Amino acid sequence: MLVEIIDVIISGMINGSVYALMAVGLTLIYGVSKAFNFAYGSFYSMGGYVAFMIFGAHINNYILVFCLAAPILFLLGYLIEKALVAPLRKRDDWEIKVMMITLGLALFLDNSYQVIFGARMKSLPTILEGSIELGDFILSYQDIIIFIFSIGGILAFRWFLNNTRTGMSVRAVAQNPAGAQIVGIPKEFVFSATFAISTVMVGMGGILLAQKYFVTPMGGWDILVKSWVITAFGGMGSIKGSLYAAFIVGMLEAFVGWHFGMNWTLIALFAVLLTTLAIRPQGLMGKWG
């Protein structure tokens, strides 16, 4: 029993770390632009398919795959933002229009994946075979590496926000777009860069989880829902809130899945979200709007 519980906790921590990486990206976009990106789940699948193509080119080193995938995802995110989202910002009520166009983009991307890669699921090679045995516990190298990469990604993102010029401009625009422009910060570039960075973050999550859960054309919707639950639960726009919420969601999912079965996990997540929002509408860390 104890061994099972510890296994569940470890599983919750590992999933929570990847969810944190992905939810922070969604929170970042919302925090900066106050617009919700419905194509976020499709960018998760995009990460998996980009990695699938890189492996298809006989590049089998995961470090190289990450190094190649990151700039590709950044460029795709940047170009999509410039082509589809940026023109809308000149119009009234552009936040609603962004939601509509990203919903359309999600459907376009998912159907394109289906046509290009087929409906069948694709798998990526395991990052490292083998496991560590600690008494009764068995921990796979794959899970350890997923955890380390996710936490490393979040720490790198935190460092970027606090220590780089672009990171400083992202924080300034998130807190006060008008004030930021007036002191010389190019708001449009910050919007585009934020969109691109979040595409990299969720795409990396897609590559990490594709080893365990495969890549499918419609697989991103589940991630979009979970990322949204985490973002709303943590407090829309609060990065710290998203981090806490991601680990709570990872843990809750693991325990509910273990005790009641995986079919109950989403129901449990929504029950917790609804209860939290009913009591505290601004989410855990108190940001909303």
Residues at the contact surface with other proteins, assessed by CB under 8 A: 165, 168-169, 171-172, 175-176, 178-188
- Which residue, among 189, 228, 185, has the nearest Cα to 25 in the 3D structure? 228
| Residue 190 or 208 with smaller CB distance to other proteins | 190
Contact predicate 43/21, CB 8 Å: no
Query: How far apart are alpha carbons 2 and 10 in whole angstroms?
Result: 12
| Residue 115 or 178 with smaller CB distance to other proteins | 178
Alpha helix locations (H) across the chain?
2-33, 40-56, 62-80, 94-117, 141-163, 165-175, 177-182, 187-213, 220-234, 239-259, 265-279
**And the tokens for 34?**
């106050």
| Residue 160 or 258 with smaller CB distance to other proteins | 160
| Residue 90 or 120 with smaller CB distance to other proteins | 90
Least spacing, CB of residue 47 vs other proteins, in Å? 30
Query: How far apart are alpha carbons 233 and 38 in whole angstroms?
Result: 17
Calculate ∠ Cα 165-151-233, nearest 5°.
90
User: Bridge partners of 131?
Assistant: 140
Least spacing, CB of residue 186 vs other proteins, in Å? 5
Least spacing, CB of residue 175 vs other proteins, in Å? 4
Query: How far apart are alpha carbons 112 and 237 in whole angstroms?
Result: 31
| Residue 58 or 90 with smaller CB distance to other proteins | 90
| Residue 97 or 187 with smaller CB distance to other proteins | 187
Query: How far apart are alpha carbons 55 and 232 in whole angstroms?
Result: 35
Least spacing, CB of residue 179 vs other proteins, in Å? 3
| Residue 61 or 162 with smaller CB distance to other proteins | 162
Least spacing, CB of residue 183 vs other proteins, in Å? 4
Query: How far apart are alpha carbons 42 and 123 in whole angstroms?
Result: 17
| Residue 120 or 165 with smaller CB distance to other proteins | 165
Least spacing, CB of residue 169 vs other proteins, in Å? 7
Contacts of 240 (CB under 8 A, 6+ apart): 234, 285
Query: How far apart are alpha carbons 35 and 236 in whole angstroms?
Result: 11
Least spacing, CB of residue 32 vs other proteins, in Å? 13
Least spacing, CB of residue 124 vs other proteins, in Å? 38
